[in-house]
Amino acid sequence: MFRRVVSVGSLVLCGLALQQACSELLHASERSGGQPAPAQRAPGMPDLGPNVFLYTPESKTADIQAKIDAVYAQQQHAEFGSGRYAFVFAPGTYHLHLPIGFYTQVIGLGASPDAVHILGDVRVDAALDDNNATTTFWRSAEGFAVTPDSGTMQWAVSQAVSFRRMHVHGNMVLNQQHGWASGGWMSDSAVDGTVDSGTQQQWISRNTEWGRWTGANWNMVFLGTPQMPPGEWPQPPYTKVAATPVVREQPFLEQQPGGQLAVRIPALQRNTIGVTWHGGTTPGRLVPLSRFYIARPDRDTAATINKALTAGKDLLLTPGIYDLQEPLRVTRKDTTVLGLGFATLHPVRGTEAMTVADVDGVTVSGLLFDAGEQKSPSLLHVGTAGSHRAHTTGSTVLHDVFFRVGGAAAGKVAANLVIDSDDTVVDHTWIWRADHGLKGASSVGWTVNESDNGLVVNGNRVTVYGLFVEHHQQYQVLWNGEAGRTYFYQSEIPYDPPTQAAWTDSNGAKGWASYKVADTVRQHEAWGVGVYSVFRHPDVLLDRAIEVPRTEGVRFHHMITVALDNLGAILNVIDDTGGSTQTKPRVTPKVAEFPAPMQPANTTR
């Protein structure tokens, strides 16, 4: 999304202490500073590495707060840093002030969020000056309750920020003092008071409950929300879908009565409204943590991880950056891959980072895929090209999978996420070709961070919730499969095409449509679609934001285009419909329905 100020990542390298369990404060060095010091831990507790801090109600509040403050001092502005961290809280009550910085995850271990209660202040601050949250990325809060001291929880965020299985005893505001903010995600959560979106440009809420929602800007989508806000598209720009058609909630760590850890794998559900945990837990199955291979970036390679996957293990990736000489290969049905603390997969030899076979029931959650300097065909490939095996009761589900090309270092990829498996569900993704990067590094440029496509879908009956795709050099999304569905789409086309000639599609059109449904597709549907331009070079235009075949089975609901700078324009919203953003003064063209509903015949005589 448009950022008025280019953010500069800063990384403070320092030793950090590790609280592993049962109130013992342990010590370790950061990944980039060498091997972690040996860690003591409570009997029966797993070794989750030096960057997972696990606390119980018996832990000293001063020690917890000191660790929170030290990590935040390092991560507050570390947009392109190498630190990755997770704070994990056993059931109980904690009195804390907990700001969440870059690449930081906060997790409660209860069966429901109400089992872990933080009294005080859990918040996300804007990452830039002037309360600007448009680069507030890569952080999450999951599985606990919050009672904010002020009565209102501040969550000033943009892309790649997850808010899942949360309970806010009070109000919530999605910006910082009405500064810029550019989109976010909320699911399976409850807010007792009012959610004030304020200056948020876009938002998706799935299966979320609140006392009241207020605020709208360009593109707000609500699915399975019992308390829908009043008003209808386009004023206010609310897209409301009564029930979530199919989803399996994200797996999560859960502490058992004896103190052991397990991973709950929620059940696949259809046509759901509201949160899953009112009965005390989320329906599903428990898998002991002993069934998981616990990977650590300081000692594991792709070979050791693949050996464990081949042996039948599920996979828990602890925080850090994994430099991969070959893809991680998920081949067994019902495999769960769960990342903690924005565990990052970085291919270094031009391969995929991960491949998933065309099998039933795989879950991949909580990972950042970061392109390497050698060009990869994709970063995550789900399924087998040409296979159309049905998975209606055992869908592969991807939660909070995020992709980055450039920014921290140069990167190249053809298509970031390729889905060949039928019936796949994607539950929140941000697929980003970086528009800015680390100061002093050659990590951004038309020939530096190259990426053709964000998402390519070849499978049938693929459903995506919360699709954020930005700045790729050809189609942001290319959808070749039948019966696909997208609920919420937020996309910026690339800032940096140097000339129109350099950015002309294969049919001679000006630019590449952001969302392309292949000409052969006969059934597709999308709700709540926003496409935005921020051209940096003059005389560059995009003929159409969305390009689809003209057939009754391909339908789009509630579309908007916006030009966010004074250069160039988007000439039509969808195909040849909607009009241009080029009009002076700038306008925001909207199309409610495409194709337009047929008017009833005039029977007057």
DSSP letters, 1-28, are: ---SS----------EEEEEETTEEEEE
Half-sphere exposure of residue 585: CA atoms within 13 angstroms, side-chain side: 0
Residue with tokens 């009833």: 600
DSSP letters, 513-561, are: -SEEE-TT---EEEEEEEEEE--SSTT-EES-SEE----TTEEEEEEEE
Which residue, 308, 424, 418, is CA-closest to 359?
424
Which residues have CB under 8 Å from 304's CB, separation 6+?
A: 295
Which residues have CB under 8 Å from 210's CB, separation 6+?
A: 172, 190, 191, 192, 193, 194, 195, 227
Q: How many CB atoms lie within 10 A of CB 340?
A: 24
Q: Per the residue annotation, which of 30, 352, 492, 547 is the catalytic one?
A: 492
Task: Report residue 573 as tokens.
Answer: 């919203």
Classified as helix, coil or strand, 306 is helix
Tell me the residue type at 452: D
Displacement of CA 445 from its chain's centroid (Å): 24
Pairing, β 541-542 against β 569-570: parallel
Q: Distance (Å, rounded) from C-alpha 164 to C-alpha 160? A: 13
Q: Distance (Å, rounded) from C-alpha 206 to C-alpha 248? A: 12
Task: Report residue 248 as tokens.
Answer: 């399996």
492 is catalytic: yes
Residues serving a catalytic function are 492
